[in-house]
A and B are shown apart, each in its own frame.
Chain A
Amino acid sequence: MIADLLNLYPFLIDGIVQSSPTAALAYATAWLMPGPEAGDDDSAESDIIYALETCLDCFPEIYAEALQRIRDGVDIEQIEHYLIAEVQKRTNFDIEQINDLIHYISPTSFACPLFDEYAGEFGEDHPWFKIASLFRGVDEEGADNTAQETAKALANSLKEAEYESLRLAVLWLFGLTGNTMADYSIYEMSDMGLEYPYWTPEDVEFMIEAHEEAAEIQKMAQQGLALLESDPDLLKTFKRNIRLLERRKRDNNGRITNYRLVWPERAAIDAPGQTAADVELLPIRYDSAA
């Protein structure tokens, strides 16, 4: 008797598929893209459903595969791991938990951790701090306006001299690159009340590019710092030029406007043809110092 009832369903489905294209389409839709609805609670099931909605909009392949896994009886924890790993693989976003796939895209910070109180491992003896403290107005707390304006002027000069990695190093040390993720820690971004982009295909694409740019800035800046640490002549010129700038007259905003600095011949790392991040390409903050 029960077996008859269990067999009734496939029999009815047969009838639907054979007789009515509209009903068959509705059944296929319910099967393949059921349009999940989350409950009001904060349960793991609801989180998964919200995360699946994100995937339905932005990563349909992941959605389809996850749905099939759910139907195959894979447990929720494994589905969570699958969604996180797959989205991370496609975006390189820093996704730690399933909540990160809900509502908005959490940015990743590529900022210099030198003055980040939560980073903890960068003391006065750190080589980067020694470089930063060459600028007047820098202490363990950070850089004041004088130091930042000196850094901007120095970076402009380095741009003219085509010292790209060193230019980015100077801007990156003081959070002046113009790329939010290369300039601020996660805590700073949160304190500033930045509105993060939502999980939409357009914003995902934008954030992937912004992440790539920030990562490139970080990489280039660290190359620039390494260059400075390894080249005593360049370091000497660097110090001298900072002193020259600090002696220049400034306008009411502290800007140094009239200066020309001399740099040694470019090192191979900054030679033309090397990869260089274009910080003007994707300005997600509009006060770029570059």
Chain B
Amino acid sequence: MFEGITAESLANILLQVAPVELEGLALLRQHRPQPGEIFPRAPIAQIVPATLQLMAYAQESYKMAEKLSKLKAVPLVAPVLEYGL
């Protein structure tokens, strides 16, 4: 039976969530800027989907941050011992 969770174990669980694999970061690993240029060059067919994904990711992140900033305290059924209400 579940009796509680610690902040440390909660953090460990969250750390096990796989990071979002952004195509833009993958492109950065594949392409380097040429000497004298600020940004790398990549085929347009790869740039467009990477940009769209990054836009969607930025929007989702913004929405999530908005939600978190307005989150109200709720009494937990499953207590996190360090932050018990």
Contact = CB atoms under 8 A, between A and B. Distances in A.
Chains A and B are bound partners: yes
Nearest to A12: B33
B36 A31 contact: no
Chain B: interface secondary structure? helix
Contacts of A27: 28
A201 B5 CA distance: 44
B42 to A, nearest CB: 8
Main secondary structure, interface of A, reads helix
B35 A33 contact: no
Nearest to A29: B54
Interface in A92-121: none
A193 interface: no
Interface residues of B, number: 25
Interface string B34-50: 11101111001001101
Interface string A16-36: 010001001101111111000
A32 B35 contact: no
A32 B50 contact: yes
A-side interface size class = 20 to 34
Interface string B44-82: 100110111011001000000000000000000000000
Given A25-B22, A29-B24, A31-B28, 11 more contacts: A17-B25, A17-B28, A17-B29, A28-B25, A28-B50, A28-B54, A32-B54, A33-B55, A63-B51, A68-B44, A71-B41
8 contacts: A17-B28, A25-B25, A28-B25, A28-B27, A29-B54, A31-B28, A32-B51, A65-B48
Kindly list the 6 A-B residue pairs having the minimum CB-CB distance in the complex, ordered from nearest: A64-B51, A28-B24, A6-B35, A32-B51, A64-B48, A31-B39
